[in-house]
Amino acid sequence: MWVCFACFSFKCIKKKFKVKDPTGKTVHLANHQLPVTVVQGSGGYHSVAIDANTHNLFEEIPSLGICGDIVMAEASEAAQPVPNFRVLPQHTRATRALCGYFGPIGARKEEVCILLQSIGVRDNGFDETIGGTRLNINLLQKVSDYFSGSSTFRNEKVELDALTGEGDGVQLIKSIPTDENVHTTARWTNLFIRPNSSNASPVTTFGASYLMGYQLQKDAIAGNNANWCCVEQIAAANPWNIPAAWIANRNARRVLPPGLGIERFVSISDSQRNRTNAICSTCSKHLDFGCAQISEAGWRKLGSDRRNAWKCSSCRNHSPRPASSPVPSASPVPYSFEDIIVPTRRPPDALRGHQIY
């Protein structure tokens, strides 16, 4: 009954939420299939092993195989059990970049083991509702009941009015890590990034609802690719290095359809963290104004020299000014950033829809 209702709900959502952009392209929900690869008697994996062809799947898409291995380890009576991921390359261990794995398992309440064993999840076995998928409906129901009883995780209301609809613009936000990242072992989904909009519509539509969320690029930090790789060597006695093929195709799943890969707007927001930096449009130096935007009065004061508004002092002093805005002989820069910058988290209405260089 539960499975039939879920299938019916998915079909209704798939039929309703299809999006057509101004160019005539239509985006549909794709049918999702659970991974069914079985390794050493346990299913739910993307493939038999993590290799050059499949490492992106294990780094980016959760699988019940990986989650099932973790749950089986939690059902163990060991104080700090180690999950048996059956797909790891030889002489390697999982990193937190393996999607679904959040690090070593610590102390657990006794009730956890009792609950898991009561629904057929043990350290040496896993009862599957659908063979080869590592799907256990009883476990899913137990987790749902737990969250429904906690006010912290309860969803009181979900509004769908803001979703992109028929005739609206299709937007894709790409997040590219910047050179601010210095910790080579930082998780690749938690880096300083620069959002880039690939939009089929003009920049004036920026601010409409997003059809697709962040497509985070995987890049090296200081020449080290450890931040995105899902495995690492266990000991120096058995060295293992990230294969060149893995590095070459790390962003293969970021290939966009024709027309969507053109960067039309680069946001001045430069972090996934709760802050905003202004960036020099010439040398990309951070101006470090914290949360700042140009005030309306400052925008009018800049006049025809607005293109120099987001340049550092060095680049502005050496930039030719428009003929309509002569430089006074007393100073090459007749205004200061203190005159035009005001702390705010939202640009004034007069600036909304403008492209700031």
Alpha-carbon distance 77 to 105, whole Å? Answer: 12
DSSP conformation class of 351: T
Residue 52 CA to residue 35 CA, distance in Å, equals 18
Answer for the pair 169, 21: CB distance below 8 angstroms, yes or no: yes
CA dist., res. 180 & res. 270, Å (int): 10
The reported pLDDT for the residue numbered 239 is 94
The span from the CA of 267 to the CA of 197, in Å, is 8
pLDDT one-digit tens code per residue, 280-325:
656 655 554 433 344 444 444 444 444 445 556 566 665 554 444 4
Quick one: tokens of 19?
């999006």
Q: What does the H/E/C string look like for 63-76?
A: CHHHHHHHHHHHCC
Is the pLDDT reported for residue 351 higher than 60?
A: no
Specify the pLDDT at position 237.
94
> Which comes out higher in pLDDT, residue 257 or 6?
257
pLDDT tens digit string along 221-276?
A: 888 999 999 999 999 999 999 999 999 999 998 776 666 556 555 544 444 433 34
How confident is the model over 110-158, as pLDDT tens digits? 899 999 999 999 999 999 999 999 999 999 998 888 877 777 766 666 5
Residue pair 296/350 in contact (Cβ under 8 Å)? The answer is yes
For the whole model, what pTM was predicted?
A: 0.60
pLDDT digits (tens, 9 = 90+) for 45-60: 999 999 999 999 999 9
Give the pLDDT confidence score for residue 327 in this predicted structure. Answer: 42
